[in-house]
Chain A
């Protein structure tokens, strides 16, 4: 019995499928990224401006993503001072900035090499003080 000739896949369909797959991947990545940043509504810290004149940013809240570089100091009441290395896929990646972690986060175990999302406020003296932090 003669077989009925199969219908060949149209190349247009292949391209469309490819585009859909890529779109799905990019969209998934985008969504995933958006979903991983808990402070996606907060503007990122302009590190360049901060380095130039931190006082100009005083009172503002920013988000910062960075890895713990070093614990510079700590106080008996639970305040800690870290240097973090900016890691936000910006030209300022790798820049070290000081970050003050107040006593309210004293129970958070922060270790060197860990990456966090920080919600920070620029306080007196241009210091970045953590308002919230989330492990990335």
Chain B
């Protein structure tokens, strides 16, 4: 691989890493989690305990790792969030989001799009202060005086609301580091004094250990005694010096440990703040912090003291050991990327390519929410993206809830306002839903016509699942419901009329009842019997009317009477019968008297009346039957 290609690939990887890291932060913030970097960082430990050079043995981190292994809640959840720029999907904790379709992100983004641009005097002043601080801390021209001036400007920047007191936090970190360093210098001075004392004691011990000037006895026995006495005397003289040396050695070791601990603790606190600022996407503050850090800790050790998930988070994201320099470069990259993103947004907006413009702005907003390029973007331009964003979100929601009519309307609107809007997926969804839903509705309609209730329900359910708010479905179901209401009402009326034996009313409303009982075979049979009966009555009445029209009232009465005997409850037939009774009074009276006497077994009188009735109306069936019946009684066996 050529060096240029390698550099390009590294740059791309770094951009992706920055984006991924920043997105993680957004979701962390969205979920209401505070940046937890300090908790995952190693706690200060004695230098001797860091022999492996890794800060991971710190207890909180270890706990976190154990929690992670056991599936408990760890830094940023069980998994580190990961953003795939290829499909705009963020994966976190086993869940996946499209960054363009996240409720919290949408809310935050829309809030930004509605907010006015931050170009007020106060905003400008604040940004100027930050720019001055960054200029003072620029690596190529930094001096102790610049450091002091930059430090003095931090409280001024922190006074602005938009800073959220982060510059105060930076100032505190810088001050703490300086305090730690002063403490280190005091410990160094103390150790120097102890060293000097040590050397003095060694000298004193040497002097004390030298022999006496008195001559050694020549006598061997006395000489041995003299040697023992000398040795005991030397030991007694040297003992305080040796004890003091031991004590000083212990103090020096202790001071050395304190010195190293103080330095590590100061670094860790500073790094924690830097990571926190990075995760909060306060890239200007990250740049300020990293430049202070390099100046304060000039030992060249910029490696971030991370452990556990936080270490893996950075390792897996950027692929290299995290350092303050990496944070610095990532922050610079983010600033550049945001600047480029805003430029792309404005260009796409000019070309009326709102879909791309909105996506670029959303991506840029995720990274550089607090950067000047984003904060100073005019609201007028943002509103255009907002309109598109709102409609696009509406479209997504409409398709999610299968409101394809609304989706189709939104697609049309989006096509008008955004030249680059890709309608293919949305329209494909709409057309597919329309086709399948229409097919199910057609099947449901056929089932309704044929009275197949089970198929009707199944097809309606299928159509509803595909397109719940399909206008055609709504229209069809409304008809079904209306018909069902009418049907239920008709069935209720039918029941009532049957119980009242008001078959006449049933006959007159027969069309309504026929439709109502279409799906109820038992009631169909019942209604059919009633209608057949009523047809007989109607036929008899028509026949009676015809006979009466010829002036044969007796014949008309008899026709009505025949029907009446079979259907005595029909009011209309009763009325006709009553009318004809008055018109054929003699005939009716003859028959009536004949029946009455027949019942009283007065055969002669009864037969006389039947004969009289027969004279009135010779074709009379009643009279003929009466005569035949009585003749049979009078002359049985004939």
Task: Name A's B-contacting residues (CB within 8 A).
Answer: 50-55, 69, 72-75, 79, 81, 83, 95-98, 100, 122, 125-128
Extra contacts besides A51-B609, A54-B597 (11): CB < 8 Å: A54-B604, A55-B605, A72-B627, A73-B634, A73-B635, A75-B635, A98-B604, A98-B634, A100-B634, A125-B601, A125-B603
Q: Which residue of B lies closest to A50 (CB)?
A: B605
Q: Which residue of B lies closest to A128 (CB)?
A: B604
Tell me which of A75, A96, A127 contacts B615 (CB under 8 A). Answer: A96
Closest CB of chain B to A4's CB: distance in Å?
72
Question: How many angstroms between the C-alpha atoms of A100 and B635 in the bound complex?
Answer: 9
- Chain A residues positioned under 8 Å from B634 (CB to CB): 73, 81, 98, 100, 125, 127
Closest CB of chain B to A122's CB: distance in Å?
7
Q: Which residue of B lies closest to A69 (CB)?
A: B611
Tell me which of B604, B608, B609 contacts A122 (CB under 8 A). Answer: B604
Name the residue in B601, B607, B615, B627 with the highest tally of chain A Cβ atoms < 10 Å from its Cβ.
B607
Name the residue in A74, A81, A122 with the highest tally of chain B Cβ atoms < 10 Å from its Cβ.
A81
B602 contacts A by Cβ under 8 Å: yes
- Beta-carbon contact of B612 and A96 below 8 Å: yes
Task: Name B's A-contacting residues (CB within 8 A).
Answer: 593, 597, 601-605, 607-609, 611-612, 615, 627, 630-631, 633-635, 637-638
Closest CB of chain A to B408's CB: distance in Å?
91
- Beta-carbon contact of A97 and B608 below 8 Å: yes
Q: Which residue of B lies closest to A122 (CB)?
A: B604
Given the known inter-chain contacts A81-B634, A125-B634, please indicate yes or no for A96 contacting B605, CB distance below 8 A.
no
- Beta-carbon contact of B604 and A50 below 8 Å: yes
Question: How many angstroms between the C-alpha atoms of A81 and B631 in the bound complex?
Answer: 8
Closest CB of chain A to B566's CB: distance in Å?
29
Q: Which residue of A lies closest to B631 (CB)?
A: A73
Question: How many angstroms between the C-alpha atoms of A69 and B637 in the bound complex?
Answer: 23
Closest CB of chain B to A14's CB: distance in Å?
51
Tell me which of A53, A96, A100 contacts B611 (CB under 8 A). Answer: A96
Given the known inter-chain contacts A51-B609, A72-B627, A83-B611, please indicate yes or no for A97 contacting B635, CB distance below 8 A.
no
- CB within 8 Å: A-B pair count: 67
- Beta-carbon contact of A53 and B605 below 8 Å: yes
> Could you list 15 examples of A-B contacts with CB < 8 Å?
A51-B605, A51-B608, A54-B597, A69-B611, A73-B635, A73-B638, A75-B637, A79-B635, A81-B634, A96-B615, A97-B608, A125-B601, A126-B604, A127-B607, A128-B604
Closest CB of chain B to A35's CB: distance in Å?
31
- Chain B residues positioned under 8 Å from A83 (CB to CB): 611
Question: How many angstroms between the C-alpha atoms of A122 and B605 in the bound complex?
Answer: 11
Question: How many angstroms between the C-alpha atoms of A98 and B631 in the bound complex?
Answer: 10
- Beta-carbon contact of A125 and B637 below 8 Å: no
- Name the 10 nearest CB pairs between A and B, nearest first: A126-B604, A125-B603, A96-B611, A54-B605, A54-B604, A98-B607, A127-B604, A73-B631, A126-B602, A97-B608
- Chain A residues positioned under 8 Å from B608 (CB to CB): 50-51, 54, 95-98
Closest CB of chain B to A57's CB: distance in Å?
9
- Chain B residues positioned under 8 Å from A79 (CB to CB): 635
Closest CB of chain B to A71's CB: distance in Å?
10
- Beta-carbon contact of B638 and A55 below 8 Å: no
Tell me which of B593, B603, B637 contacts A126 (CB under 8 A). Answer: B603
Question: How many angstroms between the C-alpha atoms of A96 and B597 in the bound complex?
Answer: 16
Question: How many angstroms between the C-alpha atoms of A127 and B635 in the bound complex?
Answer: 11
- Chain B residues positioned under 8 Å from A100 (CB to CB): 634
Question: How many angstroms between the C-alpha atoms of A54 and B612 in the bound complex?
Answer: 16
Q: Which residue of B lies closest to A57 (CB)?
A: B604
Closest CB of chain A to B613's CB: distance in Å?
10
- Chain B residues positioned under 8 Å from A52 (CB to CB): 605
Q: Which residue of B lies closest to A80 (CB)?
A: B635
- Chain B residues positioned under 8 Å from A72 (CB to CB): 627, 631
Question: How many angstroms between the C-alpha atoms of A55 and B597 in the bound complex?
Answer: 10
Name the residue in B593, B604, B609, B635 with the highest tally of chain A Cβ atoms < 10 Å from its Cβ.
B604
- Chain B residues positioned under 8 Å from A53 (CB to CB): 602, 605
Question: How many angstroms between the C-alpha atoms of A126 and B601 in the bound complex?
Answer: 9
Tell me which of A74, A96, A97 contacts B638 (CB under 8 A). Answer: A74
- Chain A residues positioned under 8 Å from B638 (CB to CB): 73-75
Given the known inter-chain contacts A75-B637, A81-B631, please indicate yes or no for A97 contacting B604, CB distance below 8 A.
yes
Closest CB of chain A to B601's CB: distance in Å?
7
Closest CB of chain A to B250's CB: distance in Å?
155
Question: How many angstroms between the C-alpha atoms of A100 and B634 in the bound complex?
Answer: 9
Question: How many angstroms between the C-alpha atoms of A108 and B615 in the bound complex?
Answer: 27
